[in-house]
Amino acid sequence: MKKTLFALCILFIGFNAQAQTEQAEVDKQKAARAMELMSKKVDMTVDEELFMAVTQNTYVSENPKAVVMAMMIPETYADSKKKMDTDMSNKFNVTSKGEKEINGVKVLYMNGTSEAEGVTLNNTIYCIEYDANTCIMFIGMVEEGADKKYTDAINASAQSVVKKY
């Protein structure tokens, strides 16, 4: 009986170690894919009179504080939808979220406010399906009270990302 119990324990430990090794490999592959996708250029139009490029997919304005950013993420549209439906952190106050159609494309959206460096920012987030396992995430942030031209420029950039593939 002791030998059988010992053999089962060894077998269990072996399976557990194998499962952890396989999960580590899966996590490593996911991280590599995420890095590969983040390095890809996302086609978008940005008002470069208002925003300065800091990377190929990120543009900022220092005064007022504003950001336009897009990136490809290794996530399905359904998984992105589940994540958007979960509670956000207490640092992001969601004012509206859901799914809508823009330029004939189904889009997940979330609007809200956040604080950064003592400044309140109005945030716009869009998630667009790129392919079966990849989405494009668009994020626009602008300092509360900024001139409307910044909000309009962020919306125009978002519209340029959302298109039929």
Q: Residue 112 is part of a domain; what is its CATH number?
A: 3.40.1000.10
Residues 28 and 51 in one domain: no
pLDDT exceeds 70 at position 88? no
| pTM to 2 decimal places | 0.79
Residues 21 and 52 in one domain: no
- Out of 55-59, 84-88, 129-133, 153-157, pick the least confident: 84-88
Residues 25 and 46 in one domain: no
Residues 35 and 46 in one domain: no
- Out of 13-17, 76-80, 106-110, 112-116, pick the least confident: 13-17
Would you place residue 8 in the very low, low, confident or very high pLDDT band (cuts 50, 70, 90)?
A: very low
71 alpha carbon, distance to own chain's centre: 7
Residues 90 and 120 in one domain: yes
Sheet with 52-55: list strands edge to edge: 52-55, 58-61, 66-73, 134-143, 119-131, 105-116, 92-102
Residues 8 and 63 in one domain: no
Residues 51 and 132 in one domain: yes
Q: Domain range for residue 131? A: 42-161
